[in-house]
Amino acid sequence: MTIRRAAIEIHGAVQGVGFRPFVYRLATELELTGWVLNDVNGVFIEVEGESETIEAFTTRLQDELPVVAVIDSIEIDWLPPGGFDEFTIRRSEGMGTKTAVVLPDLATCTDCAAEIIDAANRRYRYPFTNCTNCGPRFSIIEDLPYDRPNTTMSGFEMCPACSAEYEDPADRRFHAQPNACGECGPSVSWSDLRGNTIDDDQAIDAAAAAIAEGHTVALKGIGGYQLLVDARSDAAVAHLRTSKERPHKPFAVMVPDVATAERYVDLDDAAVRLLSSPQAPIVLAAAHDGTDLSALVAPGNPTIGLMLPTTPVHHLLISRLDGPVVATSGNLTDEPIAIEDAEARSRLGDIAHGYLSNDRPIRRHVDDSVAWILEGSPRLLRRARGYAPMPVTVAEDLRAIVAVGAHLKNTIAVSVGRNVFVSQHIGDLETDEAHTAFTEVIDDLMRMYDVAPEAIAHDLHPDYLSTRYALSNPVFSDVPKVGVQHHHAHLVSCLADNATVEPALGVTWDGTGYGTDGTIWGGEFLLGDATGFERVAHLRPFRLPGGETAVREPRRSAAGVLFELGIDLTSAPYGLDSFTERDLGVLTRMLTQRNNSPLTTSAGRLFDAASAMVGLATVSSFEGQGAMALEFAASQDDPDPYPMAITKAEGPLVLDWGPMIEAMLADMGAGIDAGIVASRFHA
């Protein structure tokens, strides 16, 4: 029998997930001696015993991982025996380069959810119940390593019962940093516009009563304030729409459980798994007809975004209600979610009837994520709570780069070694609040990972606030600034996401991206990799009268497309009937003189044009509304595609939509149903 010692180094999402107790239990079960240590670089283990047992240990280590842990790499070195007597958990050491992965906030696990409804449990109805499998992480971390003094829980001293759990390697709450109970932890409070304040369990009763009466309640969630109203009440949802200045964009709905969700939408197995995963995103799914949901929740939209309760506060609140609630970010349109109590009150003062708050500070804003199932797999539409700031891991070490992102739906990223940490969704950089959040997130990720930037990457668009920040911020005055073409960034992101570096043909169809020729690109076929690209094809260009204004007015895209085809705009073609004769004269002059009418190859604007021509969206209140309406209108299963032509000249191939638009006009002139026209357009 030969005793050996193995030194094991593990990198990945292994902090704050019950990884050390898991290692401890496994090692002691196999009667191995040694130790486990968690520091800013990852988890280090030494185990001593027979070779076969150590091999069993390393196999089971990977096979029986805690649900939320992710191992990126595991390295094993063999050493001479160290003569250990037992297996121990060593203290964290806060030194070295910070490369450990910060975990996202995770929805309440089933064990914790069961405890808060068990009258015999000491956490019965305690709204901040959590364990190593669930609860806040990213939203409460002040610094690495992830230990309680480095979180916003540092002001709460654990009671003896909580301390005992925290110190016990066999307990589910061993080193659960936000561990708390009603004796020692944060508490909820309710305050309403009349000046009433109520604490603890009755606070949740008061919030539930306010929702039941049709009021809007502001709730301090895990990553910021949310606004909640009764999702069955037209009046309550209408009030929320008016006060949030959000006339049409769909709202998400929270339901207590999967069974209730299935009453409202179609869910396949993959969707159920996604909905009830620890990440617990809002899941978009096809809505059932004839339910009690207000039609104002998602007007004209055949899908509904549903989510389950994500924290004990949500569980306790929704269990007191007899129906679903709208749960939307606590903000005005286009602003980031509010996280400070005072900020929430000043920004949401006119919207909310009352506040269900608590005394656990939120360190950074994290919105609810939005996802759906596409081809059987989850796809993220908005990446925040549950996912951020998990990295994309690339093949080789990168230089330390800060990438500041685009203007709409902004996120930023920083590279540390092989990890690219992608921030939570920040939003459209249209308001002062969004710009403040943008700079805070950059500072935050750089500080958290001690990033000394060697380069800053920005979009080529000279007027994006993110570009201006990159070019003018003194922090980056001495580092190279790298302008990246918008669709090239899309292509390379897609390569990284699929863990490949080989050149590929990337098809990027979106709304707006600044091209290398100074025109607005958006219907692009780029061949390339991280080092460069060739624009091999694009949609036929057309002019957008009014430039940016066209984003909110699909009818302007229609005017640009029709003008490009040589059609007289004053002859009242489809899509332009909401313009006055005078407007049409102005548009024609703008287009003829090429005045404030930039050229674009945007697929988004082409979809907008078609939507306006079919009569679905002439003016929109959010980006994508026109294209969504066109998609929802498509009614035919196996449509006959409209023709597109490919023209070859100097430079890239041109995918010409001219024949398609002419065929559409012919169909509409012949009285063909809009559902069929929309279907043929998509085909």
* Interaction mask 537-576, Zn ion, x per CB under 5 A: ----------------------------------------
Residue from 101, 134, 403, 654 binding Zn ion (CB under 5 A): 134
Pairing of strands 87-89, 33-39: parallel
Q: Residues with Cβ < 8 Å from 358, sequence gap 6 or more? A: 127, 128, 186, 187, 188, 189, 220, 313
Q: Say which residue the tokens 């037209």 belong to.
A: 234
Q: Which of these ranges, 16-24, 97-105, 162-170, 523-531, lies near Zn ion under the rule CB under 5 A? A: 162-170
C-beta of 129 vs 294, nearer to Zn ion: 129
Q: Which of these ranges, 47-55, 133-141, 454-462, 476-484, lies near Zn ion under the rule CB under 5 A? A: 133-141
Report the candidate in 101, 95, 40 with the shortest Cα–Cα distance to residue 422. Answer: 101
C-beta of 13 vs 109, nearer to Zn ion: 109
The residues that bridge with 118 in the sheet, in sequence order, are: none
| Whole-number Å distance between alpha carbons of 343 and 94 | 33
Residue from 6, 43, 112, 561 binding Zn ion (CB under 5 A): 112
Q: Which of these ranges, 136-144, 155-163, 208-216, 594-602, lies near Zn ion under the rule CB under 5 A? A: 155-163
The residues that bridge with 379 in the sheet, in sequence order, are: 372
Pairing of strands 653-656, 645-647: antiparallel
| Whole-number Å distance between alpha carbons of 632 and 440 | 38
Helix, strand, or coil (residue 332) = coil
C-beta of 157 vs 234, nearer to Zn ion: 157
Report the nearest approach of Zn ion to the CB of residue 134 (Å). 4
Report the nearest approach of Zn ion to the CB of residue 61 (Å). 22
- Count residues near Zn ion (CB under 5 A): 10
Helix segments in 277-429, DSSP class H? 312-318, 341-348
**By the 8 A CB rule, do 656 and 647 touch?**
yes
Q: What is the footprint of Zn ion within residues 260-299 (CB under 5 A)?
A: none
Tokens representing 107?
């929805």
Report the nearest approach of Zn ion to the CB of residue 51 (Å). 36
E strand map for 498-543: 504-514, 520-529, 532-539, 542-543
Tokens representing 210?
């306010």
Report the nearest approach of Zn ion to the CB of residue 183 (Å). 4
Where does residue 189 fall: left (phi above 0), alpha (psi -120 to 50 degrees), or beta otherwise? beta
C-beta of 166 vs 622, nearer to Zn ion: 166
| Whole-number Å distance between alpha carbons of 77 and 199 | 55
Pairing of strands 401-403, 455-459: parallel
Q: Which of these ranges, 128-136, 331-339, 364-372, 542-550, lies near Zn ion under the rule CB under 5 A? A: 128-136
Q: How many CB atoms lie within 10 A of CB 248?
A: 17
C-beta of 134 vs 198, nearer to Zn ion: 134
**By the 8 A CB rule, do 642 and 664 touch?**
yes
Q: Which of these ranges, 43-51, 132-140, 455-463, 674-682, lies near Zn ion under the rule CB under 5 A? A: 132-140
**By the 8 A CB rule, do 499 and 395 touch?**
yes
C-beta of 183 vs 292, nearer to Zn ion: 183
Residue 70 burial (CB < 10 Å; 0-12/13-18/19+)?
A: middle
Q: What is the footprint of Zn ion within residues 433-492 (CB under 5 A)?
A: none
Q: Supply φ then ψ for residue 3, to 5 degrees.
A: -90, 130
Does 133 contact Zn ion by CB under 5 A?
Answer: yes
Residue from 43, 162, 280, 668 binding Zn ion (CB under 5 A): 162
Q: Which of these ranges, 42-50, 112-120, 197-205, 273-281, lies near Zn ion under the rule CB under 5 A? A: 112-120
Q: Which of these ranges, 28-36, 160-168, 196-204, 245-253, lies near Zn ion under the rule CB under 5 A? A: 160-168
Report the nearest approach of Zn ion to the CB of residue 446 (Å). 31
Where does residue 499 fall: left (phi above 0), alpha (psi -120 to 50 degrees), or beta otherwise? left
C-beta of 179 vs 226, nearer to Zn ion: 179
Report the nearest approach of Zn ion to the CB of residue 153 (Å). 11
Q: Which of these ranges, 102-110, 187-195, 204-212, 372-380, lies near Zn ion under the rule CB under 5 A? A: 102-110
* Interaction mask 176-215, Zn ion, x per CB under 5 A: -----x-xx-------------------------------
Element (H, E) at 62: helix 51-63
C-beta of 133 vs 277, nearer to Zn ion: 133
Report the nearest approach of Zn ion to the CB of residue 132 (Å). 7
Q: Supply φ then ψ for residue 426, to 5 degrees.
A: -100, -40
**By the 8 A CB rule, do 646 and 634 touch?**
no
Element (H, E) at 219: strand 217-220
C-beta of 17 vs 442, nearer to Zn ion: 17
Does 131 contact Zn ion by CB under 5 A?
Answer: yes
Does 117 contact Zn ion by CB under 5 A?
Answer: no
Report the nearest approach of Zn ion to the CB of residue 171 (Å). 12
Report the nearest approach of Zn ion to the CB of residue 174 (Å). 12
C-beta of 173 vs 365, nearer to Zn ion: 173
C-beta of 165 vs 459, nearer to Zn ion: 165
Does 159 contact Zn ion by CB under 5 A?
Answer: yes
Does 106 contact Zn ion by CB under 5 A?
Answer: no
C-beta of 112 vs 203, nearer to Zn ion: 112
Q: What is the DSSP string of 398-457?
A: ---EEE---SSSB--EEEETTEEEEPPP-B-TTSHHHHHHHHHHHHHHHHHTT---SEEE
Report the nearest approach of Zn ion to the CB of residue 278 (Å). 9
Q: Which of these ranges, 69-77, 123-131, 588-596, 630-638, lies near Zn ion under the rule CB under 5 A? A: 123-131
C-beta of 312 vs 354, nearer to Zn ion: 312
Q: Point out which residues bind Zn ion (CB under 5 A).
A: 109, 112, 131, 133-134, 159, 162, 181, 183-184
